[in-house]
Amino acid sequence: MGKPIEIYIDADACPVKAEIYRVAERHALKVIVVANSPIAVPREPWIERVVVGAAMDEADNWIAERAVRGDIVITADVPLASRAVKAGAAVIAPNGKPFDEDSIGLALATRNLLHGLRSAGEITGGPKPFAPRDRSEFLSSLDRAIVRLKRAGFGSAP
């Protein structure tokens, strides 16, 4: 088996942490939970909690500096997703939408357009609420990513 698969969670606003823990335990994978402030995580040897400073993008930078090919990054943050895709990691949004080489350019362009419109006062609404269907889509995407990585020779934690 090759490099162990590690799952990095951009955790501050992640609604699927419990699901990630269950899947990671089933597949014997290490999970690194990265947040700007202390958050509760299960006391398991395969879960590592990392609390970074409160500066803007500090958690994103910490993850982007470490995630590599064979890892999975869970984030809704499009710039972090872009950096992780460039590093070769599998990237999944909490709603199950995978980010990859084909989709990240459009996702970044859309994010930048919407950011510009919001800054100009054009848009007042945010993203749609997280729904049960999003949770099930996420679980399917996470399972698919793990199976793909295992087929590519990446493995479980020692």
pLDDT band at 22 (very low <50, low <70, confident <90, very high): very high
Could you give the CA distance from residue 140 to residue 45 in angstroms, rounded to a whole number?
Answer: 25
Q: Inform me whether the pLDDT recorded for 12 exceeds 60.
A: yes
4 SS3 class? strand
Instruction: Count Cβ atoms within 10 A of the Cβ of residue 50 and give its class: 0-12 exposed, 13-18 middle, 19 or more buried.
Output: middle
The tokens of 36 are what? 């700007």
pLDDT digits (tens, 9 = 90+) for 83-128: 999 999 999 999 999 998 777 666 665 655 666 666 676 665 666 7
Could you give the CA distance from residue 110 to residue 99 in angstroms, rounded to a whole number?
Answer: 13
Between 115 and 59, the higher pLDDT residue: 59
Question: What's this model's pTM, rounded to 2 decimal places?
Answer: 0.86
Q: Which of 15-24, 25-34, 56-65, 95-104 has the lowest mean pLDDT?
A: 95-104
The answer to whether 50 and 40 have CB atoms below 8 angstroms apart is: no
Q: Which of 18-32, 100-114, 128-142 has the lowest mean pLDDT?
A: 100-114
Phi, psi (5° rounding) for residue 21? -60, -45
Query: What domains appear along the chain, each with residue ranges and CATH number?
Result: 6-151 (3.40.50)
Q: Inform me whether the pLDDT recorded for 13 exceeds 90.
A: no
Cα–Cα separations (whole angstroms), residue 117 to 19, 56, 104, 128: 34, 21, 20, 17
Q: Inform me whether the pLDDT recorded for 131 exceeds 70.
A: yes
